[in-house]
């Protein structure tokens, strides 16, 4: 999974209109309203807050926010699709400069601002990890501890009449069971991207 690391705002001037683009990391559609609320406070005199977003393969969309239909949000969304990003909201704020750009001029300005914004936004590639809780005897713990560490990170250890470990790994439960033969119990806790 690719997630956003840095998102500097990008400014673009077209025929006296000022376009400001910025990308944001989002997980849910509700995040869009939070971002827009903050941007409207930061840019109270802006005329348009157009955006496109992609959360995953099934959740994406755009908003023209008062611009002619499909001249603002749609080209922003197309830039996101071409960039192959997910969990990303790209907002382009427009301060109207008094010159009408026409449909093709608007589309080009919003598309170019979105592409430039995406070009300057940096991303990290995250890996999917599984977190397992493993119960084993002291004897087995001492025999296989190094092998467990080679399979992932031991993030928690608790010692009572047995040993309880939480192992964070890229491997699935079947692989862990095969590699750590003799463990008393293994329970899947969660998946996480790191």
Quick one: pLDDT band at residue 180, thresholds 50, 70, 90? Answer: confident
Look at residue 105 and tell me whether its pLDDT is greater than 90.
Answer: yes
145 burial (CB, 10 Å; 0-12 / 13-18 / 19+) is: middle
pLDDT of residue 194: 81
pLDDT of residue 68: 95
Look at residue 2 and tell me whether its pLDDT is greater than 80.
Answer: no
Q: How far apart are CA 108 and CA 106, in angstroms?
A: 5
pLDDT of residue 101: 94
Token code pair at residue 191 = 């998946």
Report the range of poorest mean pLDDT among 60-64, 97-101, 116-120, 180-184: 180-184
CATH architecture of the domain with residue range 2-123: 2-Layer Sandwich (3.30)
Q: What are phi and psi of 119, to 5 degrees?
A: -65, -35
Quick one: pLDDT band at residue 52, thresholds 50, 70, 90? Answer: very high
* Segments making up each domain of the chain, as ranges: 2-123, 128-193
Residue 65 gets the label, from left (phi > 0), alpha (psi -120 to 50) or beta, of: left
CATH number listed for the domain at residues 128-193: 3.30.70.240
The overall average pLDDT reported for the chain is 92
Quick one: pLDDT band at residue 109, thresholds 50, 70, 90? Answer: very high
pLDDT of residue 122: 87
Q: How far apart are CA 59 and CA 152, in angstroms?
A: 32
Q: Is the pTM of this model over 0.85?
A: no
Look at residue 100 and tell me whether its pLDDT is greater than 80.
Answer: yes
Quick one: pLDDT band at residue 127, thresholds 50, 70, 90? Answer: confident
């Amino acid at each position: 999974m690719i997630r956003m690391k840095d998102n500097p705002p990008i400014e673009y001037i077209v025929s006296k209109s000022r376009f400001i683009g910025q990308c944001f990391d989002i997980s849910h559609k509700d995040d869009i309203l939070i971002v827009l609320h903050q941007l409207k406070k930061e840019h109270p005199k802006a005329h348009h807050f157009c955006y496109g977003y992609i959360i995953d393969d099934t959740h994406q969309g755009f908003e023209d926010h008062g611009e002619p239909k499909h001249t603002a949000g749609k080209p922003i969304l197309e830039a996101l699709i071409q960039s192959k990003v997910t969990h990303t909201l790209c907002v382009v704020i427009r301060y109207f400069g008094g010159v009408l750009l026409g449909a093709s001029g608007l589309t080009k300005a919003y598309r170019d601002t979105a592409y430039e914004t995406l070009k300057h936004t940096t991303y990290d590639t995250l890996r999917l990890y599984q977190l397992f809780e493993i119960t084993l005897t002291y004897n087995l713990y001492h025999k296989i501890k190094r092998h467990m560490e080679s399979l992932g990170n031991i993030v928690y250890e608790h010692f009572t009449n047995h040993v309880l470990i939480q192992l964070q790994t890229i491997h699935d439960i079947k692989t862990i069971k095969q590699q750590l033969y003799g463990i008393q119990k293994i329970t899947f806790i969660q998946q996480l991207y790191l």
